[in-house]
Structure 1
Amino acid sequence: VAQDSIREMAQDSRFTDVIIEVEGHSFRCHRIILAASSQYFRAMFCASYRERDQSSVEIKGVTIDVMKVLIRYAYTSYLEINTENAQTVLEAASLLQFTRVMEACANYFASQLSIENAPGIMELAQRHSLTELQQLATLECVTHFSNLRSSSDYLCMSSQLFEVILSRDDLNVANEEDVFEAVMFWCQHDTGKRKSELPNLLRHVKLPLINQNYFVRHVETNELIRCNEEVHDMMMEARRYHTIGGVTDRKVIPRHNTTLHQVFVTVGGCNNRDSFIDEVCVLDFQHKTRASLCQLPNTKYMVQAEGGEKAKWAEFACTAWRNNLVISGGKETKKETWMYIMSLRRWVQMASLNTGRWRHRMVVCMGDIYVVGGYDGLLRVDNLEKYDERENLWIERRNMREAVSSAAVCESEDRIYVVGGGPSVRISTEKVQVYDPNTDDWRLSTPMPDAAKCLSSIALRGKIYVVGGTLRYILCFDTREEIWSKIGEDLSCARASCGVTLCNDKIFIVGGRDESGKALVSVSYLDPETHKLRLECNMPTPISHHGCVTLQKLDKLRSKTV
């Protein structure tokens, strides 16, 4: 009944107390009705504005037809939105703060959303602070990115919103070349005005992941890129990755939907029966699969030992180099070095080490492979060797300050860090030895809080994460401040001789042995931002003393669900 009475008053203009002037047309209205629907009119009529006591108020920036729509809504709650008036009604509702009308317009645009109009709707939603609508339009662009270039609104997008799309890791593209082409097509639409935006946009293109041949033929030769000094560092970073690897930031983590993806690989190891494992296994958490990549080289040649057979490779070291797997040393293979070439799916033998060893570590620094420390059967080894790819031989570099085996070794900001380790069978050290390849010299850094060996480590953005030995917690070493700290919650048990690798910006900890010497099956990951440790899955069998690396571009493997 009350609603009917309000409609009658609107039609008969009874008891009106204000006139709204729009483009020379007068609307006789009731202040209380307008104030109930519009924050703009509520503030005008209730606060100390001069319009409060005026009998007539002029509204600019709104057409007569749109004002009719808004006034009708205020009196009747009826709203007619269609293709012709949706945008103008939204703009007027935003200006006059008709909140419910704005929500109705947002719902209308959401119902009409497609890849053809999504860029324009993104702009509209941002302009009027319609967060949910902007998120929906952004998701449409991200999901159908391959069709975005066919959109009439795509070339008119602002660079800021284009950056929002490009920055998404869930961008639905087959490869990073498609992203690069979309950026260049947008820039070339208005080169004069847009060439200054190119550096900001290219920061969201994962240039290191672009195919090397495509990069040389289409990226390096592009005139806009060649003439823009601000992109030179990005180009150098991509060239470095193509040549020697070594880039560890998000630029080398593939987007979720590309044909590239990061997986981590467990190499060999030992189970609870002290039998050595000869399999190289791939864990792909993006596709929830586990796959056998290959067998370790020559492990089909088993040797008889007391208590039964054991595999050839034991307590070796491994690393990833240019997306290939390299292994060296071992208790029975002291000087051997092999590389599994991913593109060929086969092992190739490399030059032998100068010093045979096991319980050592391998690391890649500035594109070169190094072998660090270990045990030769009589003494701990202080020897450092660097692989010369051109001559296919190992070159001895300056010895460490202290000989250790079973240390944690990793690279951070072009330095090699050797953390802890065992100077002898019963002694552990807390020393941190740092090697500079540029000067071929070692120095000591801040020692770790507790002496430990049988450690593993990984570096990320200037910090080194250490786990293993008898430690029941994870240590973090800030290489810039040279400060140690304990992070996250305590571990449920020690994880001596576990595997650690960085995959998809998470630190994975695989297997290891607890205080009783029992091998573990758990695969956990640490979020480096929140320091939360979570269980990802369990391995099929307990594992320790294994290698653990991250690789890319693994497909067509014999898979089974993790």
Structure 2
Amino acid sequence: MFPILCRALWSRWSPPDKKVFRIPGLSPDMMQLIIEFAYTGLVSVTEDNVQELLLAADQLNVVGVVQTCCDFLGEQLCPENCIGIFQVTDTRSSPELRLEADHFIVAHFEEVVLSEEFPQLSVQQLADILGRDDLNVSEESAAFEAILRWIAHEPDERKADTALLLSKVRLVLTSEDYVRLNARPRLPNGILLAIGGWSGTDPTNSIESYDVSTDLWMQVTDRDVGPRAYHGTAVLNGSIYCVGGFNGVEHFNSVRRFDVSARTWHEGPPMNHRRCYVSVAVLGECIYATGGFNGYSRLSTAERYRPETNQWSLIAPMHERRSHASSTALHNKVYICGGFNGSDFLQTAECYSPETNQWTMIRQMTCRRSGLGIVAYADRVYAVSS
């Protein structure tokens, strides 16, 4: 065996009279195992070394070690490792193990899709698997869901492969109910969106859109987005921002951005403070989040989001602590009215000037108002309570 190994080295890397060999990609530990095998005919294969040892033995054409490694891997096949085994035997001298791994993937496809290795398949490998007549799936929808999972791993790079992969799904075998469940209604040009809130006894992730022209509400809920209530919303540069809020357990400082045209959610930069019952307004190219409740106390702090830097920064605090207030923008100022300071309902109001970074108290409203809405229209600020 050792002379055969030496001949492999001589013929592959150097002239026959060379005595020192530099072998790329081969560790000293693997070389030691292969040399010991050359002398003893025995090799110790473990879960930790089997893949590296297989590659090293194949590189040196040590058939006995290759076969031992393949036998070991064949006994370890499971949904969590079958793709890795399938790929490590690609173009290697172990066609039997590659075929065994291939059959395992096809036979246990729905379990394999849930493994961490599944997204490692190439598009062509996945297309070949989905095109197999012997692919074992309980329903054809499992093949469709597998494609969604694979693309979601690297959406920007893989969305171009959607057409190829979907052509392998036998849609005629999917149920009518499943097709209806995945049908996405088209959004009209002008809509009103209702996002999250409190439904029954818990916060909800429900999103509904209202089409003024048809007087209809449509469900456009994203099932992958968690529930959120008591948040603020704002529209800026064609996207909808959900700011702060509460899910029944956690008070959020997180921000989610909804791309209406693509119907996708993106995680935005977090605020400096947790805020539910927060007041949100848009002025110029910035979003202002003021006051709120962090789970312990009402807040007087305020902060501003700039899209060009994609960051929130603190601005001057308000004169009053306020949650359950409402804010709007008018004439290059942000106005906030009413709210609750933890003990009293407020009738005070104040406005913020970005030019001076100062809040100024303005004339009080005639009524104390908490949970109100305010809006700017025709050079006036209107406060509306139920």
Normalising by structure 2, we get a TM-score of 0.45
Query: Which structure shows the higher strand fraction?
Result: 1
| Higher relative contact order, structure no. (Cα contacts within 8 Å, ≥ 6 residues apart) | 1
